Each structure stands twice: as structure tokens, then as C-alpha cells.
Amino acid sequence: MLRKQRLLGKVPTAKEAYGRMFRMAFPSTVEALLSGLTSFVDTIMVSAIGISAVSSVGITTQPRMIILMLFMALNTGVTALIARRRGENDAKKANQILMQSLLICLILAIIMTVVGIATARPLLKFAGAGDDIIDDAVIYYIIVTAGTVLMALTMTINAAQRGAGNTKVAMKTNIAANIVNVAFNFLLIKGRLGFPALGVKGAAIATFLGILTAFIMACLSLRKSTFIFFSLKSLKNFDFKLVKSIIKISGNAAIEELCLRVGFFMYNKIIAELGTVDYGTHLVCINILNLSTNIGSGLGIGTTALVGQTMGEKRSDLSVLYVKIGQRMAFIISIALSSLFIFGGKMLMGLFTDDPSIIANGSKILIIMAAVTFFINSQIVYSGCLRGAGDVRFVATMALISVAVIRPGISYLLTYPVGLGLIGAWLGLFFDQFIRGMAGRIRFKMGKWTKINI
């Protein structure tokens, strides 16, 4: 898998290399898959109220993600920097990174919570929420946004643990959160076992309780016996040079996240204006697609951590090896998922609705989804490699070009002027993923990312 002239030292056997990748990626894959399955189950549970309820919850997704994008960007830097320090076996510096990142995260989270709640109704109106769903959407959005501080701190702790190689921590916190979320969905949406029937509000409360559970679990993981732990002493000598390093990586990641969220927001708005039924169909399909992207995300997280660690060990040859292993795993997973989408499309759509027109339209979209799955999972692994190496500027540039410009542009053109409707919007998504997948492959092959110091 590696040319002899590129070797910088002893290379693990295939069994050892695949084993290390599996141990790193599997917990993250399970975590991401469970998160996707929870959203999947949430949508099924809410759909029992009606397609408008699905739209009420779904319309809040991109506005919520806009609030969270700062923390996603911050955590890209946290994972990359701690992974590099893990490779160098510098626990003191790793803990400084963790504690200073948590402080930055706390300040930003308080600000974003206040702004998010204060602008709830106009933001959701702008996102495309119609008069038939706006009230439920606002209720759901405000309750979930109230948990932003807890969610942001949890995300930062989990990002640090991933960088340190403790991917099981994030998996365990998400398993616990998902169980709580689904359990209270069951109790509160339609009112069971003596609990009130709260509908969409009940789904929001269940989500908040899941966020709280994840926060508690994440905090408990920061024990002194581990590589990274909670230590206020690390804040005594506040290192502005370290903050500069965090901002350098996270700043580019923030540009990427901003481009992603703006692009997704515009894309979402284009589809929302097709009407409640088409938008509801789209949300069902997106939840199914998330099963693919969440599995790919696990491989991407594993790749980020391993590339960061091996770069810290001065073994860029092993970084290349693990990316190639990640790509092979992604390809095998994509074959399985695309087969499910093609041959089980109607069955999957039938889990959400019994409307023949929605099932028929959704089944067509799943054919597009089967093709796009290969490019999604491939670009996730390549992007994970580039983030782990610190080459986040390139990833941000591709997000700007492809997600913020190409996807909404092609989607609008095919949806309205060409008249393909929802199918046109999904073709726009396909072109976006294809372009990012090819660009990531070319950047990886060039090898410039192996020369970056962070």
C-alpha cells in the first residue's frame, strides 16, 4: 500500500494497521451512527403527529447548526492540536489546550444562546417556515437552543478525547444521551405512562434532557488518571501563543463551517419553498442519508486523530497509510449502503409515511442517494486527513466554492427554471459531493499537507 522509498521507519502489518484504524474509528462510527439513528427515530416518532410536525422540527436544523458552527470549528482545532501533542506525548500542553478551549467555548456559548433565543422567530421565518408550522418550530428551537452551553462544552470535551485517542468516551456519552432522548420522546410526544402528550414540545424537551445527560457523562470522563483531565491549574498560566494556534486552525475551520451553514441554509430554503409535503419528503430522505454520512463521519474522525498522532510522531508515511485504509473501508461501507437505498428504498420510506406519492418520490431520490454515498464517504475521509494535518484552509476553500455556491446554484436552477422540483435539488447535492470528493483526492495526492507544522 506504500512505496518503499516513502517509508520513514518500521511499518505495521496489515492486521496491525487495520486494527488500529478500526479501534480508532469504530467508537466514532458507532457514536455517529447512533446519533443518526436517534434523528431517524425522532423523525419517525414525530411523523406520527403528521408531516407538518416533521417540517416543524426539520426547519430548525440549519438555524441550530449555524449557532453550533463556531464550536464545530473550535473543535477541529482542539482535535488536531491534542492529537499532535498525543503523538509527541506532551500531556501538559494537551491539558492546556483543553482548558483554554473550554473557557473560550463557555464564553461563546453564552453569547450564542442569548442571540439564538432572541432571534428565534425571524430566523425561522427566514429559513422558510410557513404560518402552518412556525409556532411549533419556534417552541422546539427555543427549548433546544437553551441547551447550547451544555452541548458546546460536551462537544469540546469529546473533541479533545478523540484527539487523545479516547474515542470510546464520545461514543459512551452519545449512547447515554440517545437512550434518554428516545425514551422521553416515547413518553412525551404522544403522552404515555401518565406523562402529558406534548407533541413537538415533548420532542424538544427529550432532546434537551439528552444534551444534559451527554454533558454529565463527558465531564465524568475528565479523570486525572487519563491523558487529559480537568485541571484549573492549566488556566493559571494562560498561554496566548497557544490560543493563537487554536485560532489559526479553528479560524479556517470556522470559514469552512460558515460556508457549509450558509450553503445548507440556502439549499434548505430552496426546498422549503416547494411546500410542506415536498419539504417533509426531503427531510425524511435527509434522515436516511444521514445513516451514510454518520458512518462516514466515524471514519473521518478516526482519520483525523490518526493523521494528527502519526504526524506528531514524524511518520507522515503512516498518515498516508491510514488514509488509504480509511478509503477502503469507506468504499466497502458505501457499497452496502447504496444497495440498501436501491433495493430497500420503498421499505425505508414506508417507515415514515403511508402516502403513496411521498413514497414514490422519495424512492427516486434514494436512487440519487445511492450514487452520492460513494462521494460523501470518500470526501469525509480526505477532509479528515487534511484537518488532522492542519490543512484546514483548503477544506474551507472547497466548502466556499462547492457548498456555498455550486450546490445552491445548481439546485435552484434545476428545481425552478428547469422544473425538476425536489429531484433537481438532490442533483445539486450530488454535484456538490462529487466536486468535493475529487478535490480532496487531488489535494491528498499532492502531499503538501505532510509538510504542515501546527
Could you give the CA distance from residue 383 to residue 152 in angstroms, rounded to a whole number? 22
Could you give the CA distance from residue 64 to residue 417 in angstroms, rounded to a whole number? 30
153 pLDDT exceeds 90? yes
Please give the torsion angle defined by the CA atoms of residues 112, 117, 121 and 125, in that order, rounded to the nearest 10 degrees.
Answer: 30
Could you give the CA distance from residue 209 to residue 162 in angstroms, rounded to a whole number? 24
- What's the whole-model pTM score? 0.74
Mean pLDDT of all residues belonging to the chain: 85
326 pLDDT exceeds 90? yes
Counting residues of the chain whose pLDDT is more than 70, the rounded percentage is: 94
Helices 240-272 & 276-312, crossing angle to 10 degrees? 160
pLDDT at position 130 is 74
Please give the torsion angle defined by the CA atoms of residues 389, 393, 397 and 399, in that order, rounded to the nearest 10 degrees.
Answer: 60
Query: Are the CB atoms for 112 and 97 separated by under 8 Å?
Result: no
Query: Are the CB atoms for 390 and 249 separated by under 8 Å?
Result: yes
Segment 327-336 mean pLDDT: 93
Could you give the CA distance from residue 417 to residue 310 in angstroms, rounded to a whole number? 50
Q: How confident is the model at residue 39 (pLDDT cuts 50, 70, 90)?
A: low
* First vs last C-alpha separation in the chain: 27
DSSP 207-266: HHHHHHHHHHHHHHT--TTSSS---GGGGTS--HHHHHHHHHHHHHHHHHHHHHHHHHHH
The tens digit of pLDDT for each residue in 408-443 reads: 999 999 999 999 999 999 999 999 999 999 999 999
Q: Which helix (H) or strand (E) holds 409?
A: helix 407-415
Please give the torsion angle defined by the CA atoms of residues 231, 235, 240 and 246, in that order, rounded to the nearest 10 degrees.
Answer: 30
Q: Where are the domains of the chain?
A: 10-447
Of 66-70, 237-241, 358-362, 403-407, highest mean pLDDT? 403-407
Q: How confident is the model at residue 371 (pLDDT cuts 50, 70, 90)?
A: very high
